[in-house]
Structure 1
Amino acid sequence: MNALPSLFISHGSPMTALEPKLTGQRLAELARALPRPRAIVVASAHWLSHAPLVGAAAQPQTVHDFGGFPPALYALQYPAPGAPEVARRAAELIAQAGLPVQLDPGRGLDHGVWVPLRMLYPQADIPVVPLSIQPRLGPAHQLALGRALAPLREEGVLLIGSGSITHNLHDWRGADPAVEAPYVRPFIGWVEQQLQRGDVDALLDYRRQAPYAEQAHPTDEHLQPLHFALGAASAGAFTAQRLDAGIEMGFLAMDIYRFDGPCED
């Protein structure tokens, strides 16, 4: 079969699961445009570790890793099966790339995984493997992790980085959701420009080069899934398609990217 693309998804607030808005529409459209994968691997901004961990549960639990939201949100489940054999294959590829890796047989699906997947594949009938990210190791590490797993795309596995194109929770407190934060559009415009140019080096150096980088991302963990998805696209040429899903609460850009590229140079 042809290689699947890799995806970066801005998963938004947990409330996106109850109020999908434009994100739900964009992800439903994307699912219709994609071949059906045999399994999905999701690198989530809500599973952080010092070295890569791969979830190998046969039936991962739906984890409600948040507080202070309506009871209806905690009632939601995403009962997708796991894929232990895909988890073992992913760990093998990561090890072959020279990175330390461990399987975690008890890891469930945090909201960075199940919130977007409920909109992408609502039937929850495709096996899912969660993957941790390591923000302390920097964007280049996430790029390398994605590249290590790129062969899975030719094996029918959809690789997703789940984070947020902008993520400043300080703006959640006391901000007027009707007023758009001034840093959002310059930052997302810069990211799109570099992706269209194929300038991977600039994206790895976004902290220094991007406008308003510190405001858009006070910490790195929600953007680094973009570097994972970019690495998973290819070690060489790639194309990037941006799906605009709007801006939530004035500061949370909901961009989605589809990356296509050969698995090898």
Structure 2
Amino acid sequence: MIPALFIAHGAPLLAIEDNDYTRFLSGLGQALPRPSAVILFSAHWVTGVQQVSGVTEYDTIYDFGGFPDELYQIRYPAKGDRQIVHRIAALLMKDGIPFEVDTTRGLDHGAWIILRLLYPDADVPVISMSVNPRLSAEQQYKIGQSLAWLRANDALIIASGGTVHNLRAVQWQENQVSDWALQFDEWLETQLKEWNLNALFRYATLAPHASLAVPPYGNEHFIPIFYAMGAADDVRKATLLHRSYRYGNLSHSVWQFG
């Protein structure tokens, strides 16, 4: 069975960089079993009702500004899959989870940067899905649980965000990792490996430096981890595949669930 993944998408520059993290993600795409499709929850698609993409072929969204022109020339023309959309709809309906099918939105950079590194030929069908920070962690986890059937049938479920993502705290010229970021990630690692949902669902009050690592105005980057975990609830095994940092505290963490 293909595992579920939480992958940090970092800064947009990753799309044109060659570094340890981009090479790791490229290698990960080659090492994973070939999926029938990718179901991707992106921190950059925030909605009040769960959205499921019904797009036939995606446009590429450049939801950032002030970067080199090269970034804006990139295209990632992934295709959707209507059959899988129908299956997702049936699974969500069965569990009483409200949703809507979106037929126009392209792939934001939280999605296409990761996908382009994993599957550079854009030859794996993609179903993009939104995240909702207003839901409780338990509800986000339940949405992931609802999609477990897809993982059991060779779909790769990816949650894209960042365990430590506070753009107001980054140190653009700093190479040394901030202590508070390390302490938060180390706490998170312990809880994930123990699958301690009671603690994880209360990370905001229990984790050291949670308000810095996951600021209230930016928790949409952290919460995708619950969707990915929920999809692997039947196995409850967490493995840290990669962790590094840019700009002092912007985390590049990759977690495998299942």
State the TM-score, normalized to the length of structure 2.
Answer: 0.95
The one-letter code sitting in structure 2 at the alignment partner of 1:233 is A
Aligned to 1:201: 198
1:190 matches 2:202: no
Equivalent residue of 1:40, what SS? strand
Which deviations, in whole Å up to 9, do the C-alpha atoms of 1:170-214 show, x marking residues without a partner?
A: 024x65422422211101111111111121121111001111000
- Count how many residue pairs are aligned between Structure 1 and Structure 2: 256
Aligned to 1:213: 210
Which deviations, in whole Å up to 9, do the C-alpha atoms of 1:225-249 show, x marking residues without a partner?
A: 1111000112x44211112241011
* Superposed displacement of residue 254, structure 1: 0.4
**Is the contact between residue 8 and residue 160 of structure 1 (CA under 8 Å) also seen in structure 2?**
yes
**Is the contact between residue 88 and residue 103 of structure 1 (CA under 8 Å) also seen in structure 2?**
no
- Percent pairwise identity: 39
Farther-moved stretch of structure 1 (89-98 vs 54-63): 89-98
The one-letter code sitting in structure 2 at the alignment partner of 1:228 is Y
1:156 matches 2:165: no
Which deviations, in whole Å up to 9, do the C-alpha atoms of 1:33-83 show, x marking residues without a partner?
A: 211001101000000000100011010111111111111001111111111
Q: Distance in 2 between matches of 1:20 and 1:135?
A: 32
Q: Distance in 2 between matches of 1:103 and 1:60?
A: 14
Aligned to 2:174: 177
**Is the contact between residue 24 and residue 120 of structure 1 (CA under 8 Å) also seen in structure 2?**
no
Q: Which aligned segments of 4 or more residues in structure 1 are displaced greater than 4 angstroms?
A: none
Which deviations, in whole Å up to 9, do the C-alpha atoms of 1:140-166 show, x marking residues without a partner?
A: 221011001111012221101000010
Please tell me the root mean square deviation across aligned C-alpha atoms, in Å: 1.3
Aligned to 2:141: 143
Farther-moved stretch of structure 1 (62-71 vs 15-24): 15-24
* Superposed displacement of residue 29, structure 1: 2.6
> Where in structure 1 are there 5+ consecutive unaligned residues?
261-265
Aligned to 1:248: 246
Equivalent residue of 2:220, what SS? coil
Aligned to 1:263: none
Aligned pair partner of 1:55 in 36, 39, 53: 53
**Is the contact between residue 26 and residue 245 of structure 1 (CA under 8 Å) also seen in structure 2?**
no
The one-letter code sitting in structure 1 at the alignment partner of 2:130 is S
> Where in structure 2 are there 5+ consecutive unaligned residues?
none
The one-letter code sitting in structure 2 at the alignment partner of 1:69 is F
Aligned to 2:230: 231
Equivalent residue of 1:45, what SS? strand
Which deviations, in whole Å up to 9, do the C-alpha atoms of 1:7-50 show, x marking residues without a partner?
A: 00001011111115222222223223211001101000000000
**Is the contact between residue 175 and residue 246 of structure 2 (CA under 8 Å) also seen in structure 1?**
no
Equivalent residue of 1:183, what SS? helix
State the TM-score, normalized to the length of structure 1.
Answer: 0.93
Farther-moved stretch of structure 1 (127-136 vs 77-86): 77-86
C-alpha distance 82-237 of structure 1, shift in aligned 2 (>3 A): closer
**Is the contact between residue 198 and residue 237 of structure 1 (CA under 8 Å) also seen in structure 2?**
no
The one-letter code sitting in structure 2 at the alignment partner of 1:244 is H
**Is the contact between residue 22 and residue 245 of structure 1 (CA under 8 Å) also seen in structure 2?**
no
Equivalent residue of 1:162, what SS? strand
C-alpha distance 20-137 of structure 1, shift in aligned 2 (>3 A): farther
**Is the contact between residue 169 and residue 212 of structure 2 (CA under 8 Å) also seen in structure 1?**
no
Aligned pair partner of 2:257 in 248, 256, 259: 259
Output aligned runs, 1:8-157, within 5 Å. 8-157=6-155
Equivalent residue of 1:255, what SS? strand
